[in-house]
Structure 1
Amino acid sequence: METPLPFGWKPLHLDRYDDTTDPDEHIDLYVTQVNLYTNDDAILLRVFWTSLTGAALAWYTQLPAGSIDNFDTLVRRFTAQYATSRPHHVTSAALASLRQSNDEPLRTFMERFASISVKIQNLNLEVRGKTQAKPYHGHKDKMKVTNDIQFKKAARANKGGRYDFYTPLSAPRVHILEEASNNNLLTLPPPGHSPNNADRSKHCRYHRNHGHTTEECRTLRDRIEELVQAGHLGQYVQR
Protein backbone atom coordinates (compact mmCIF):
# COMPACT_ATOMS: atom_id res chain seq x y z
CA MET A 1 0.00 0.00 0.00
CA GLU A 2 1.32 3.45 -0.92
CA THR A 3 2.41 5.61 2.02
CA PRO A 4 -0.14 8.44 2.50
CA LEU A 5 1.07 12.03 2.32
CA PRO A 6 1.33 13.92 5.61
CA PHE A 7 -1.59 16.07 6.77
CA GLY A 8 -1.49 19.55 5.25
CA TRP A 9 0.84 18.52 2.41
CA LYS A 10 1.24 21.13 -0.29
CA PRO A 11 3.07 21.00 -3.64
CA LEU A 12 6.78 21.72 -3.36
CA HIS A 13 7.99 25.21 -4.25
CA LEU A 14 11.21 24.55 -6.16
CA ASP A 15 12.33 24.54 -9.76
CA ARG A 16 11.93 21.12 -11.32
CA TYR A 17 15.24 19.51 -12.20
CA ASP A 18 15.84 19.17 -15.96
CA ASP A 19 19.45 17.80 -15.97
CA THR A 20 21.14 21.17 -16.61
CA THR A 21 21.94 22.29 -13.05
CA ASP A 22 23.80 20.97 -10.00
CA PRO A 23 22.14 17.68 -8.88
CA ASP A 24 23.51 18.02 -5.34
CA GLU A 25 21.90 21.42 -4.93
CA HIS A 26 18.59 20.03 -6.16
CA ILE A 27 18.70 17.19 -3.62
CA ASP A 28 19.43 19.66 -0.81
CA LEU A 29 16.51 21.90 -1.81
CA TYR A 30 14.18 18.93 -2.22
CA VAL A 31 15.01 17.32 1.13
CA THR A 32 14.77 20.67 2.94
CA GLN A 33 11.24 21.25 1.64
CA VAL A 34 9.98 17.72 2.28
CA ASN A 35 11.40 17.85 5.81
CA LEU A 36 9.01 20.71 6.58
CA TYR A 37 6.36 17.97 6.68
CA THR A 38 8.22 14.74 7.34
CA ASN A 39 11.56 12.95 7.11
CA ASP A 40 9.90 9.64 6.25
CA ASP A 41 12.05 7.79 3.71
CA ALA A 42 8.98 6.42 1.95
CA ILE A 43 7.59 9.92 1.38
CA LEU A 44 10.95 11.18 0.10
CA LEU A 45 10.87 8.34 -2.43
CA ARG A 46 7.21 8.73 -3.38
CA VAL A 47 7.29 12.45 -4.09
CA PHE A 48 10.72 12.77 -5.73
CA TRP A 49 9.39 12.43 -9.27
CA THR A 50 7.33 15.61 -8.79
CA SER A 51 10.59 17.58 -8.52
CA LEU A 52 11.76 16.46 -11.98
CA THR A 53 10.97 17.47 -15.54
CA GLY A 54 12.16 16.82 -19.08
CA ALA A 55 15.06 14.38 -19.51
CA ALA A 56 15.43 13.90 -15.75
CA LEU A 57 11.80 12.82 -15.40
CA ALA A 58 12.21 10.47 -18.37
CA TRP A 59 15.30 8.94 -16.70
CA TYR A 60 13.36 8.41 -13.47
CA THR A 61 10.38 6.72 -15.16
CA GLN A 62 12.74 4.30 -16.93
CA LEU A 63 14.40 3.03 -13.75
CA PRO A 64 13.93 -0.76 -13.52
CA ALA A 65 11.19 -1.88 -11.13
CA GLY A 66 12.62 -2.80 -7.73
CA SER A 67 15.99 -1.15 -8.42
CA ILE A 68 15.45 1.58 -5.80
CA ASP A 69 15.01 0.24 -2.27
CA ASN A 70 15.43 3.49 -0.30
CA PHE A 71 15.98 7.21 -0.77
CA ASP A 72 19.75 7.00 -0.27
CA THR A 73 19.97 4.60 -3.22
CA LEU A 74 17.90 6.97 -5.34
CA VAL A 75 20.18 9.88 -4.42
CA ARG A 76 23.28 7.90 -5.40
CA ARG A 77 21.76 6.90 -8.73
CA PHE A 78 20.51 10.41 -9.42
CA THR A 79 23.75 12.24 -8.60
CA ALA A 80 25.81 9.69 -10.55
CA GLN A 81 23.53 10.07 -13.58
CA TYR A 82 23.90 13.86 -13.61
CA ALA A 83 27.46 14.20 -12.28
CA THR A 84 28.50 16.05 -15.42
CA SER A 85 25.99 18.81 -14.60
CA ARG A 86 27.89 19.72 -11.46
CA PRO A 87 29.63 23.09 -11.70
CA HIS A 88 33.39 22.89 -12.25
CA HIS A 89 35.07 24.04 -9.06
CA VAL A 90 37.80 26.60 -9.50
CA THR A 91 41.17 25.50 -8.08
CA SER A 92 44.40 27.28 -7.25
CA ALA A 93 45.69 26.22 -10.67
CA ALA A 94 43.39 28.85 -12.17
CA LEU A 95 45.35 31.52 -10.31
CA ALA A 96 48.63 30.01 -11.46
CA SER A 97 47.63 30.52 -15.09
CA LEU A 98 46.21 34.01 -14.57
CA ARG A 99 48.06 36.65 -16.57
CA GLN A 100 47.61 40.38 -17.05
CA SER A 101 46.74 41.27 -20.64
CA ASN A 102 48.98 43.77 -22.40
CA ASP A 103 46.21 46.36 -22.55
CA GLU A 104 44.63 45.51 -19.18
CA PRO A 105 44.91 48.15 -16.41
CA LEU A 106 46.58 46.88 -13.25
CA ARG A 107 43.52 47.67 -11.12
CA THR A 108 41.30 45.60 -13.44
CA PHE A 109 43.73 42.70 -13.25
CA MET A 110 43.80 42.84 -9.44
CA GLU A 111 40.01 42.87 -9.31
CA ARG A 112 39.88 39.85 -11.63
CA PHE A 113 42.43 38.05 -9.47
CA ALA A 114 40.38 38.76 -6.34
CA SER A 115 37.11 37.63 -7.91
CA ILE A 116 38.64 34.24 -8.83
CA SER A 117 40.41 33.72 -5.50
CA VAL A 118 37.19 34.02 -3.47
CA LYS A 119 35.67 31.16 -5.49
CA ILE A 120 38.40 28.71 -4.47
CA GLN A 121 37.52 26.49 -1.54
CA ASN A 122 40.07 26.25 1.30
CA LEU A 123 42.52 28.56 -0.42
CA ASN A 124 45.49 29.37 1.79
CA LEU A 125 44.79 32.73 3.47
CA GLU A 126 48.31 33.90 2.66
CA VAL A 127 47.62 33.25 -1.01
CA ARG A 128 44.28 35.03 -0.86
CA GLY A 129 46.03 37.96 0.78
CA LYS A 130 48.00 38.41 -2.43
CA THR A 131 44.92 40.09 -3.88
CA GLN A 132 46.08 43.13 -1.90
CA ALA A 133 49.75 42.67 -2.75
CA LYS A 134 51.76 45.50 -4.23
CA PRO A 135 52.88 44.99 -7.82
CA TYR A 136 56.58 44.78 -8.51
CA HIS A 137 58.06 47.24 -11.00
CA GLY A 138 58.79 44.78 -13.77
CA HIS A 139 57.49 44.36 -17.30
CA LYS A 140 54.08 46.09 -17.47
CA ASP A 141 53.78 45.95 -13.65
CA LYS A 142 52.41 42.41 -13.62
CA MET A 143 51.71 41.03 -10.18
CA LYS A 144 54.13 38.52 -8.76
CA VAL A 145 51.47 35.89 -8.19
CA THR A 146 53.57 32.86 -9.13
CA ASN A 147 55.91 33.11 -6.14
CA ASP A 148 53.65 31.02 -3.96
CA ILE A 149 54.62 27.35 -3.86
CA GLN A 150 51.13 26.25 -4.91
CA PHE A 151 51.41 28.31 -8.08
CA LYS A 152 54.91 27.08 -8.88
CA LYS A 153 53.81 23.45 -8.70
CA ALA A 154 50.78 24.09 -10.88
CA ALA A 155 52.81 26.04 -13.42
CA ARG A 156 55.38 23.24 -13.74
CA ALA A 157 52.57 20.76 -14.35
CA ASN A 158 51.25 22.84 -17.24
CA LYS A 159 54.08 22.16 -19.66
CA GLY A 160 53.52 20.00 -22.69
CA GLY A 161 49.77 19.41 -22.56
CA ARG A 162 46.45 20.41 -24.11
CA TYR A 163 45.34 22.57 -21.18
CA ASP A 164 46.61 25.92 -19.95
CA PHE A 165 46.51 24.61 -16.39
CA TYR A 166 45.89 21.27 -14.70
CA THR A 167 43.86 20.66 -11.57
CA PRO A 168 46.13 19.68 -8.64
CA LEU A 169 45.46 16.07 -7.65
CA SER A 170 45.61 14.39 -4.26
CA ALA A 171 46.65 10.93 -5.46
CA PRO A 172 49.12 9.41 -7.95
CA ARG A 173 47.78 9.22 -11.51
CA VAL A 174 48.24 5.45 -11.53
CA HIS A 175 45.63 5.15 -8.75
CA ILE A 176 43.28 7.57 -10.49
CA LEU A 177 43.70 5.59 -13.73
CA GLU A 178 42.65 2.40 -11.96
CA GLU A 179 39.60 4.09 -10.41
CA ALA A 180 38.52 5.67 -13.71
CA SER A 181 39.00 2.41 -15.59
CA ASN A 182 37.04 0.36 -13.03
CA ASN A 183 34.14 2.83 -13.25
CA ASN A 184 34.13 2.84 -17.07
CA LEU A 185 35.08 6.52 -17.19
CA LEU A 186 38.20 5.82 -19.20
CA THR A 187 39.08 3.14 -21.76
CA LEU A 188 42.67 2.03 -22.19
CA PRO A 189 44.08 2.31 -25.73
CA PRO A 190 45.63 -0.75 -27.43
CA PRO A 191 49.08 -1.57 -25.99
CA GLY A 192 51.67 0.80 -27.43
CA HIS A 193 54.89 -0.20 -29.16
CA SER A 194 58.08 0.33 -27.16
CA PRO A 195 61.03 1.61 -29.23
CA ASN A 196 64.22 -0.43 -29.06
CA ASN A 197 65.98 2.37 -27.19
CA ALA A 198 63.13 2.88 -24.71
CA ASP A 199 64.06 3.06 -21.02
CA ARG A 200 62.90 -0.36 -19.75
CA SER A 201 62.92 0.89 -16.17
CA LYS A 202 59.94 3.13 -17.00
CA HIS A 203 56.52 1.63 -17.63
CA CYS A 204 53.23 3.36 -18.45
CA ARG A 205 50.09 1.63 -17.18
CA TYR A 206 47.95 3.66 -19.60
CA HIS A 207 49.81 2.90 -22.84
CA ARG A 208 51.15 -0.42 -21.47
CA ASN A 209 54.59 0.15 -22.90
CA HIS A 210 58.04 1.34 -21.82
CA GLY A 211 59.79 4.68 -22.18
CA HIS A 212 57.90 6.84 -19.70
CA THR A 213 56.11 6.33 -16.39
CA THR A 214 52.39 6.61 -15.75
CA GLU A 215 52.98 9.87 -13.86
CA GLU A 216 54.89 11.29 -16.84
CA CYS A 217 52.24 10.28 -19.38
CA ARG A 218 50.93 13.46 -21.03
CA THR A 219 48.01 11.71 -22.69
CA LEU A 220 46.77 10.31 -19.39
CA ARG A 221 47.21 13.71 -17.75
CA ASP A 222 44.97 15.23 -20.44
CA ARG A 223 42.36 12.49 -20.08
CA ILE A 224 42.21 12.91 -16.29
CA GLU A 225 41.87 16.69 -16.61
CA GLU A 226 39.10 16.16 -19.15
CA LEU A 227 37.22 13.96 -16.66
CA VAL A 228 37.76 16.41 -13.79
CA GLN A 229 36.40 19.29 -15.84
CA ALA A 230 33.38 17.12 -16.72
CA GLY A 231 32.61 16.72 -13.01
CA HIS A 232 34.16 13.29 -12.38
CA LEU A 233 36.93 12.20 -9.96
CA GLY A 234 36.10 14.97 -7.47
CA GLN A 235 37.48 12.82 -4.65
CA TYR A 236 40.95 13.20 -6.16
CA VAL A 237 40.90 16.98 -6.53
CA GLN A 238 43.29 18.66 -4.10
CA ARG A 239 41.38 20.94 -1.73
Structure 2
Amino acid sequence: MTNISRLSFADEIEQAEPPREFSMLHFISFKGDKDPKRHLKHYQSAMLLYQNNDYLMCKIFATTVQSEEQDWFYTLPPQSIWSFDKLSLVFIKEYSSYHSIKKKSDHLFNIKKNPKESLRDYVKRFKTEKVRIVGCNDLIAKSVFQKGLPVD
Protein backbone atom coordinates (compact mmCIF):
# COMPACT_ATOMS: atom_id res chain seq x y z
CA MET A 1 0.00 0.00 0.00
CA THR A 2 1.02 3.60 -0.36
CA ASN A 3 1.82 6.12 2.32
CA ILE A 4 -1.79 7.24 2.10
CA SER A 5 -2.96 4.50 4.42
CA ARG A 6 -0.16 5.22 6.91
CA LEU A 7 -1.55 8.67 7.49
CA SER A 8 -5.15 7.85 8.22
CA PHE A 9 -5.65 4.16 9.02
CA ALA A 10 -5.51 2.75 12.54
CA ASP A 11 -2.59 0.43 13.26
CA GLU A 12 -4.82 -2.67 13.04
CA ILE A 13 -5.77 -1.80 9.47
CA GLU A 14 -2.27 -0.82 8.49
CA GLN A 15 -0.74 -4.06 9.79
CA ALA A 16 -3.38 -6.38 8.34
CA GLU A 17 -2.31 -8.62 5.47
CA PRO A 18 -4.65 -9.54 2.59
CA PRO A 19 -5.91 -13.13 2.48
CA ARG A 20 -3.75 -15.49 0.42
CA GLU A 21 -6.51 -16.06 -2.12
CA PHE A 22 -7.01 -12.32 -2.69
CA SER A 23 -6.05 -10.94 -6.07
CA MET A 24 -6.42 -7.30 -6.88
CA LEU A 25 -9.65 -6.50 -8.68
CA HIS A 26 -10.21 -3.82 -11.30
CA PHE A 27 -12.18 -0.85 -10.02
CA ILE A 28 -13.62 2.20 -11.68
CA SER A 29 -11.64 5.10 -10.25
CA PHE A 30 -13.61 7.69 -8.35
CA LYS A 31 -13.51 11.19 -9.71
CA GLY A 32 -14.67 13.88 -7.31
CA ASP A 33 -17.48 15.04 -9.57
CA LYS A 34 -19.42 11.77 -9.32
CA ASP A 35 -21.91 10.44 -6.76
CA PRO A 36 -19.91 9.03 -3.81
CA LYS A 37 -22.75 6.68 -2.81
CA ARG A 38 -22.79 5.16 -6.29
CA HIS A 39 -19.02 4.66 -6.12
CA LEU A 40 -19.35 2.94 -2.74
CA LYS A 41 -22.09 0.65 -4.07
CA HIS A 42 -19.92 -0.34 -7.02
CA TYR A 43 -16.95 -0.95 -4.74
CA GLN A 44 -18.94 -3.01 -2.24
CA SER A 45 -20.43 -5.10 -5.04
CA ALA A 46 -16.98 -5.83 -6.45
CA MET A 47 -15.63 -6.67 -2.97
CA LEU A 48 -18.64 -8.80 -2.00
CA LEU A 49 -16.51 -11.85 -1.17
CA TYR A 50 -14.38 -9.76 1.20
CA GLN A 51 -17.06 -7.59 2.81
CA ASN A 52 -16.41 -9.20 6.20
CA ASN A 53 -12.73 -8.23 6.05
CA ASP A 54 -12.97 -4.63 7.22
CA TYR A 55 -9.22 -4.09 7.02
CA LEU A 56 -9.00 -5.20 3.42
CA MET A 57 -12.07 -3.14 2.49
CA CYS A 58 -10.33 -0.01 3.80
CA LYS A 59 -6.94 -0.63 2.28
CA ILE A 60 -8.24 -1.49 -1.18
CA PHE A 61 -10.75 1.37 -1.19
CA ALA A 62 -7.84 3.79 -0.94
CA THR A 63 -6.74 2.60 -4.39
CA THR A 64 -10.08 3.45 -6.02
CA VAL A 65 -9.64 7.21 -5.82
CA GLN A 66 -7.31 9.22 -8.04
CA SER A 67 -5.67 12.61 -8.45
CA GLU A 68 -7.03 15.32 -6.16
CA GLU A 69 -9.42 12.87 -4.57
CA GLN A 70 -6.49 10.71 -3.52
CA ASP A 71 -4.89 13.79 -1.98
CA TRP A 72 -7.98 13.98 0.23
CA PHE A 73 -6.69 10.93 2.13
CA TYR A 74 -3.65 12.96 3.13
CA THR A 75 -5.89 15.48 4.88
CA LEU A 76 -7.43 12.88 7.20
CA PRO A 77 -6.11 12.94 10.76
CA PRO A 78 -3.61 10.18 11.60
CA GLN A 79 -5.20 6.94 12.74
CA SER A 80 -8.70 8.40 12.31
CA ILE A 81 -10.02 5.50 10.19
CA TRP A 82 -10.62 2.31 12.16
CA SER A 83 -13.37 0.68 10.06
CA PHE A 84 -14.82 0.64 6.57
CA ASP A 85 -18.03 2.17 7.93
CA LYS A 86 -16.03 5.12 9.26
CA LEU A 87 -14.18 5.48 5.97
CA SER A 88 -17.48 5.36 4.06
CA LEU A 89 -19.04 8.07 6.24
CA VAL A 90 -16.04 10.38 5.91
CA PHE A 91 -15.90 9.78 2.16
CA ILE A 92 -19.60 10.50 1.63
CA LYS A 93 -19.41 13.59 3.80
CA GLU A 94 -16.46 14.93 1.80
CA TYR A 95 -18.11 14.40 -1.59
CA SER A 96 -21.80 14.77 -0.65
CA SER A 97 -22.24 17.82 -2.88
CA TYR A 98 -22.05 15.45 -5.86
CA HIS A 99 -24.78 13.13 -4.58
CA SER A 100 -27.32 12.31 -7.27
CA ILE A 101 -30.77 13.66 -6.64
CA LYS A 102 -33.35 10.96 -7.16
CA LYS A 103 -36.08 11.98 -9.54
CA LYS A 104 -39.71 11.04 -9.15
CA SER A 105 -42.36 10.33 -11.76
CA ASP A 106 -43.62 13.92 -11.62
CA HIS A 107 -40.28 15.00 -13.16
CA LEU A 108 -41.67 13.76 -16.48
CA PHE A 109 -44.30 16.53 -16.47
CA ASN A 110 -41.51 18.92 -17.50
CA ILE A 111 -40.93 17.05 -20.76
CA LYS A 112 -42.83 18.33 -23.77
CA LYS A 113 -42.27 17.81 -27.47
CA ASN A 114 -40.65 20.86 -29.00
CA PRO A 115 -42.35 22.14 -32.17
CA LYS A 116 -39.30 21.47 -34.36
CA GLU A 117 -38.43 18.16 -32.67
CA SER A 118 -39.19 14.93 -34.48
CA LEU A 119 -41.43 12.38 -32.79
CA ARG A 120 -38.51 9.95 -32.77
CA ASP A 121 -36.28 12.45 -30.91
CA TYR A 122 -39.07 13.23 -28.43
CA VAL A 123 -39.58 9.51 -27.72
CA LYS A 124 -35.85 9.03 -27.27
CA ARG A 125 -35.55 12.02 -24.92
CA PHE A 126 -38.60 10.92 -22.92
CA LYS A 127 -37.31 7.35 -22.55
CA THR A 128 -33.90 8.63 -21.42
CA GLU A 129 -35.53 10.61 -18.62
CA LYS A 130 -37.94 7.81 -17.69
CA VAL A 131 -35.08 5.34 -17.24
CA ARG A 132 -33.50 7.67 -14.67
CA ILE A 133 -36.53 7.35 -12.42
CA VAL A 134 -36.36 4.29 -10.20
CA GLY A 135 -39.78 2.65 -9.90
CA CYS A 136 -41.43 4.93 -12.43
CA ASN A 137 -45.14 4.25 -12.71
CA ASP A 138 -45.84 3.19 -16.32
CA LEU A 139 -49.41 4.51 -16.29
CA ILE A 140 -48.23 7.95 -15.21
CA ALA A 141 -45.42 7.86 -17.77
CA LYS A 142 -47.83 6.96 -20.57
CA SER A 143 -50.23 9.74 -19.61
CA VAL A 144 -47.44 12.32 -19.26
CA PHE A 145 -45.92 11.26 -22.59
CA GLN A 146 -49.25 11.83 -24.35
CA LYS A 147 -49.75 15.20 -22.65
CA GLY A 148 -46.31 16.25 -23.86
CA LEU A 149 -47.42 15.87 -27.48
CA PRO A 150 -48.78 18.97 -29.18
CA VAL A 151 -52.48 19.09 -29.94
CA ASP A 152 -53.07 19.43 -33.67
Quickly say closer, same or farther: Cα 1:31–1:109, change in 2 above 3 A: closer
Partners of 1:17 and 1:53 within 8 A in 2: yes
User: Which is greater in Rg?
Assistant: 1
CA offset at residue 102 of structure 1?
Answer: 2.2
Instruction: Tell me the percent identity.
Output: 24
Quickly say closer, same or farther: Cα 1:121–1:34, change in 2 above 3 A: closer
CA offset at residue 127 of structure 1?
Answer: 0.4
CA offset at residue 106 of structure 1?
Answer: 4.0
Quickly say closer, same or farther: Cα 1:9–1:106, change in 2 above 3 A: closer
User: Runs of 5+ in structure 1 lacking a partner?
Assistant: 143-239
**In structure 2, what is the Cα distance between the partners aligned to 1:95 and 1:131?**
7
Q: Which runs of structure 1 show a deviation greater than 6 angstroms over 4 or more consecutive aligned residues?
A: none
Q: 1:96 aligns with which of 109, 128, 141?
A: 109
Give the aligned residue type for 2:75.
Q
**In structure 1, what is the Cα distance between the partners aligned to 2:61 and 2:75?**
14
| Aligned twin of 1:125 | 138
Q: Alpha-carbon deviations, 1:38-69, whole Å to 9, x = none?
A: 62112212332122211121111220123223
Partners of 2:30 and 2:66 within 8 A in 1: yes
CA offset at residue 84 of structure 1?
Answer: 2.2
Paired residue total:
139
**In structure 2, what is the Cα distance between the partners aligned to 1:55 and 1:101?**
41
Flag the structure with more relative contact order, 1 or 2, with Cα contacts below 8 A and sequence separation at least 6. 2
Give the aligned residue type for 2:42.
L
- 2:92 counterpart of 1:74: no
For 1:185-224, what aligned pairs fall within 5 Å after superposition?
none
Quickly say closer, same or farther: Cα 1:72–1:101, change in 2 above 3 A: same
**In structure 2, what is the Cα distance between the partners aligned to 1:65 and 1:123?**
45
**In structure 2, what is the Cα distance between the partners aligned to 1:132 and 1:120?**
14
Q: TM-score when scaled to structure 1?
A: 0.49
Partners of 1:27 and 1:75 within 8 A in 2: yes
Give the aligned residue type for 1:141.
V
User: Runs of 5+ in structure 2 lacking a partner?
Assistant: 1-11
> Could you say what the CA RMSD is over the residues aligned between the two structures, in angstroms?
2.8
For 1:57-206, what aligned pairs fall within 5 Å after superposition?
57-130=70-143, 133=146, 140-141=150-151
**In structure 2, what is the Cα distance between the partners aligned to 1:39 and 1:125?**
39
Partner of 1:104: helix, strand, or coil?
coil
* Richer in helix (by share): 2
CA offset at residue 132 of structure 1?
Answer: 6.6
**In structure 1, what is the Cα distance between the partners aligned to 2:33 and 2:144?**
33
| Aligned twin of 2:8 | none
Q: 2:27 aligns with which of 14, 36, 42?
A: 14
Q: Alpha-carbon deviations, 1:3-54, whole Å to 9, x = none?
A: 1110032222112223132222222232233333562112212332122211
Give the aligned residue type for 1:97.
N
Give the aligned residue type for 1:49.
A
CA offset at residue 75 of structure 1?
Answer: 0.4
Partner of 1:11: helix, strand, or coil?
coil
